[in-house]
Structure 1
Amino acid sequence: MPAYRLRFKLSLSTETYLAYYKGKANSIQVRSLDNKKIRFPANAIRNFLTHDGVHGLFEIQFDECNKLVEIEKISL
């Protein structure tokens, strides 16, 4: 069971995501809707990549040790 969940908006172009994919950076840092800093592995959003990039409202879940459990896309 997740210890906590945070929601965040993300808008990455295909080119920007490909830079992550090619290893130029291995983590993504964003701010949650309630202004908390979130950092997670870039490959955690690979399933959401389209020809337009990665865009939408997401919910990220962490366990009690702050380990990533899951990221879900909530809406565009």
Structure 2
Amino acid sequence: MKRFEFRLNISPEQYLPYYRGEVRMVVVSLPNGQSISFPASLLRKFLHAEGIHGDFILSCDDQNRGAELQRKPAE
């Protein structure tokens, strides 16, 4: 299983194209300089009036299928 950790800071205005379905994939930069993409629909459950902010973990199988996004627990 693959696991990617990253931080998101998306304002409500920045999220609108994803919410409307105009943009379907989110591309994020990882701390090591790599970029990954995942379906924007995975962000919906994290959207609040302030947008989407925090540390997240994206998990998927070795074929990059079955993506699951969760908020990283506070340390």
Q: Same fold (TM over 0.5)?
A: yes
Unpaired runs of 5+ in structure 2? none
TM score, norm. by length of structure 1: 0.86
Q: Which has the higher strand share?
A: 1
Match of 1:8 in 2: 6
1:34 and 2:26 are equivalent in the alignment? no
Relative distance call for 1:39 and 1:68 in structure 2 (3 A) is farther
**Structure 2 residue corresponding to 1:51, chosen from 49, 52, 55:** 49
**CA root-mean-square deviation:** 1.5
Code of the aligned partner of 1:71: L
The CA deviation at 1:68 is 3.8
Instruction: Tell me how many residue pairs correspond in the alignment.
Output: 74
**Is the Cα contact below 8 Å between 1:61 and 1:70 reproduced in 2?**
yes
TM score, norm. by length of structure 2: 0.87
**Is the Cα contact below 8 Å between 1:48 and 1:54 reproduced in 2?**
yes
